[in-house]
Amino acid sequence: MTETRDQAVALTPLVETHRSLGARLIEFGGWLMPVQYTGILEEHRAVRERAGLFDLSHMGELFVEGPDAGPALAAALVSDPPSLAVGRAHYSMICTPTGGILDDLIVYRLAPERFLVVANAANAHVVSDELAERLRGFGAVLDDRSLATALLAIQGPESGAVLQPLTGIDLAALRYYAIAEGSVAGIQALVARTGYTGEDGFEIFVEWGRAAELWASLLDAGRKRGVIPCGLGARDTLRLEAGMPLYGNELDTETNPFEAGLGRTVKLDKPADFVGRAALEKVVRDGPAKRLVGLVVRGRGIARHGYPVVADDRRTGVVTSGTHSPTLNMPIAMAYVAPGDGEPGTILGVEIRQSRVAAEVVALPFYRRPR
């Protein structure tokens, strides 16, 4: 007999709600999550045209607090959290000493000495352990509240109109990548104007036990505006159209932020030394070894994760994510290619099953919301 590990899949506080809504549930990042309710295309369009409601309670919520919380995070991450104003957030990465990406994160400054770091579900344990290690010697403590904090997101052009009547927080004053504390439908919450869909929207952190109540309130308030529950399937097509990377596809420990086109998150000019600095400085000096590009498939078929990319007859890279774009109604993909093959307008080939299909390099994102 082979050794079997009894690794139970984790459940969000909304799993029964999802079941009752007829969701198809899949394992994702160690969690049982809804991939779709009514259909990916319908859910995708709801977010682009109205708004959709997502359960993101699988994400990791790591609170870092103490007089050295800012400097500790500056030493642990590639970004410079002390530069954040209270109530603001930025996108960041935690890297290995060789510059590989351990996870991509959002860092929120909740108070002068209190930060919230949101990690991907599959990496939450790794990031929690690594942060705890990197905080050692600083006057800062890590409180991993991933299993005590639920996260719901309402995303789409109507999300503000749905959410505002439920909260005393002035959403018009809550800027993109800002966060405020307040009450939503009578529930104590942190409300952030962040998301992973390319639309305006909000992410709402509440106590684990209040998630079902909040979900019901949001769905109820949004019903007349056509808000529907949305699963991870639509989340994936939405983020791909918006050119946002997914850890495990575009990002991994073999990839550095500059290769991923996210060099802007790396603050080499910050005073702090940080894990990965020397390696990342070398990447800046030598240039990245590969380049993340957008592809539009010009032939038949969809370029999917793992399909080879060729330039003339030379293998130049690999597709990291690909799908049919519901908004653009064409096959889109992201891929790593050799730096010289990544200029927009370049025609490359993708090996789709047995045939080579033409694909054009395009600037990311594929979709930008009208403002």
82 counts as binding other proteins under rule CB under 8 A = no
Residues with Cβ < 8 Å from 136, sequence gap 6 or more?
none
Query: x/- string (CB under 8 A) for other proteins, residues 232-261?
Result: -x--xx------------------------
Please say which residue, 145 or 304, places its beta carbon nearer to other proteins. Answer: 304
What tokens appear for 349 in the block?
């080939």
What tokens appear for 9 in the block?
């899949």
100 counts as binding other proteins under rule CB under 8 A = no
Candidate ranges 37-45, 57-65, 155-163, 363-371; the one touching other proteins (CB under 8 A): 37-45
- Asked if 110 contacts 189 with a C-beta cutoff of 8 angstroms, the reply is no
Options 125, 225, 324, 369; binder of other proteins; rule CB under 8 A: 324
Please say which residue, 261 or 331, places its beta carbon nearer to other proteins. Answer: 331
CB of 329 to other proteins, least distance (A): 9
Amino acid letter, residue 73 = L
- Asked if 345 contacts 302 with a C-beta cutoff of 8 angstroms, the reply is no
Residue with tokens 């060099």: 263
354 counts as binding other proteins under rule CB under 8 A = no
C-alpha span between 362 and 249 (Å, rounded): 19
CB of 350 to other proteins, least distance (A): 13
CB of 180 to other proteins, least distance (A): 35
Q: Which is it for the CA torsion 169, 213, 118, 63, positive or negative?
A: positive
Amino acid letter, residue 94 = I
39 counts as binding other proteins under rule CB under 8 A = yes
Tell me the site size for other proteins, rule CB under 8 A.
18
Q: Which is it for the CA torsion 88, 90, 96, 102, positive or negative?
A: positive
Q: Which residues bind other proteins (CB under 8 A)?
A: 35-36, 39-42, 233, 236-237, 300-302, 304, 323-324, 326, 331, 353
